[in-house]
A = this chain, B = another copy of it.
Amino acid sequence: MELHTDLYLGDCKEELKKLPANSVDLIVTSPPYADQRKSTYGGIHPDEYVKWFQPISKQLLRVLKPTGTFILNIKEKVVEGERSTYVMELILEMRKQGWLWTEEFIWHKKNSYPGKWPNRFRDSWERLLQFNKDKKFIMYQENVMVPMGDWAKSRLKNLSDTDKIRDNSKVGSGFGKNISNWLTRDMAYPTNVLHLATECNNKKHSAAFPEELPEWFIKLFTKEYDTVLDPFMGSGTTLNVANRMKRNSIGIDIVPEYYDMVSKQLKPVELYLLEPKPNYEKVEHQRRYAIR
């Protein structure tokens, strides 16, 4: 099978109309956040944010499959000492459109922006809002299981003294069995909090979010050769990850520089995929390097 990557240059409100209905398995995106400075290029004023996003979310609702999922990464800023309410108003508006607000994941940022203010701490989390068209959506939970590492450690630490002594007396037999039990059960289902660091090191493409983030949701909500859409692709983090994970992808951006950048990044991959494949491991290996 062949992987498709379709890029569109333009306002996603319009470009999305070119896509067929019920054709996308997963939408992962991080739109520009509201900005009180009107002069900023592309900045949307908080008061106008819902009105601006409403026609876009309407198109997203149209193109998403009934079994698909929409993940929206967003966070309200502080305006005059108060948190803006446009995100809440957006959720209420999208429900009126027919979206189901099924879950709110939290992205707990390990390295948040520094700063000190008299009445506020550093903001180290963002919302990952999950929307669906239908209560019956597809979810591959077992694909995002995490090592039990920390959980098991704390459990072992919490064992009472008597338990530990008892275990020590069973050296060679019982304790060994216990250990093996822990080892076989080394994977656990995650929670709705993602504890990741931001990627702020690279020179050119300062990605809005780290690759782990779209990767996690792509694993959770799609299988190979499903279709992933990012209507605000920016530097193309979501698309790169989708390609690497063998998912078809669609990207839209209104900024020509981003469009060109992502086009160049993806070209080597696509060309390579059309060539005959010598063997699986080699392909996997080279693809990773081709994208990055």
Contacts and interface: CB of A to CB of B under 8 A. Distances in A.
A282 to B, nearest CB: 31
Given A88-B92, A106-B108, A108-B193, A100 B82 contact: yes
Contact of A191 (B85, B95, B121): B121
**Chain A, interface residues (CB within 8 Å), range:** 35 or more
Contacts of A118: 139, 141
Contacts of A141: 116, 118, 121
A90 to B, nearest CB: 10
A190 interface: yes
A39 interface: no
Interface stretch (A122-130, A177-185, A254-262): A122-130
A100 B78 CA distance: 12
A112 interface: yes
Contact of A91 (B88, B106, B135, B190): B88
B81 A124 contact: no
Nearest to A130: B83
Contacts of A108: 106, 108, 193, 195
Interface of A: 80-83, 85, 88-89, 91-92, 95, 100-104, 106, 108, 111-112, 116, 118-125, 135-137, 139, 141, 154, 189-193, 195
